[in-house]
Amino acid sequence: MQHVHVVLVGTTHPGNIGASARAMKTMGLANLRLVAPAGFPSAEVTARAAGAGDVLAGTRVFGTLAEAIGDCGVVLASSARVRGIPWPEYTPREAVGRVLDAARAGTEVALVFGREQSGLSNEELSLCHGMIRIPANPDFSSLNLASAVQVIAYELNVAAAAGGAKEKTEEEDSRRVNAAELEQFYAHLEACMTDIGFMRPEQPRRLLLRLRRLFNRAALDENEYNILRGIRAAAQAAARKTRIS
């Protein structure tokens, strides 16, 4: 559990921060990160945290989601909304298996929760590797923020308690790359695609989103990451020679 981080983005009601800290602690989670929170710290946060003051004391505050998840190799966002571009979507019960597998392998995992009213921006969503959707009443699916934290933390706690040795489905020969490394790769890939003449300027965004979705889902390890970087660099070098000659 020490590798699992709850990340609240742009929370507007301070009470929800405190209630989320309490929900976390009841399920054995201690690591809270806040992105541009309103009213933190405050008396309201502390009051709603009840006995979870230690979680608040260890809470780290960041300016952007990218900064908050920089060291995380698995980033899953809780969302009730269906998006245009389909990210991999998990129920809480499906998601916690992935979370625990990664955390047990020493990978930092982020569980991201958006703003109470407006959720996450598309740019923020593009930093995430998948979505956790809590099954809910289709006519009223809007869980309170701390309630969503509670449900997912609860599933995590149930799975962790049940979890003896979960079988390894895949040989792990190398550590997972983290979000900051992936961002660097995407930036270089974009430059490369322009250089080799593949990127069509009229719709780069959707193309990049699809590539992000693919490689986020694939959960690259360090070897694979280095191979892809090598291919990208070689292609770019080949294209540049063309232009020079």
CB closer to a copy of itself out of 68 and 176:
176
CB closer to a copy of itself out of 38 and 219:
219
Task: Round the CA-based radius of gyration of the chain to a whole number and report it.
Answer: 19
CB of 33 to a copy of itself, least distance (A): 20
User: Side chain identity at 220, as an amino acid letter?
Assistant: L
- Phi and psi at 219, nearest 5°, equal 55, 65
Q: Distance of alpha carbon 187 from its chain centroid, rounded?
A: 18
CB closer to a copy of itself out of 63 and 138:
138
What residues line the site for a copy of itself (CB under 8 A)?
Answer: 19, 22-23, 25-28, 50-52, 82, 86, 88-91, 93-94, 134-137, 140-144, 146-147, 150-151, 154, 157-158, 161, 167, 169-173, 193, 195-198, 207, 210-211, 213-215, 217-220, 223-224, 227, 230-231, 234-235, 237-239, 241-242, 245
CB of 198 to a copy of itself, least distance (A): 4
CB of 223 to a copy of itself, least distance (A): 6
CB closer to a copy of itself out of 68 and 130:
130
Written as one string, the DSSP assignment of 160-212 is HHH-S-PPP-S---SPBP-HHHHHHHHHHHHHHHHHTT---TTSHHHHHHHHH
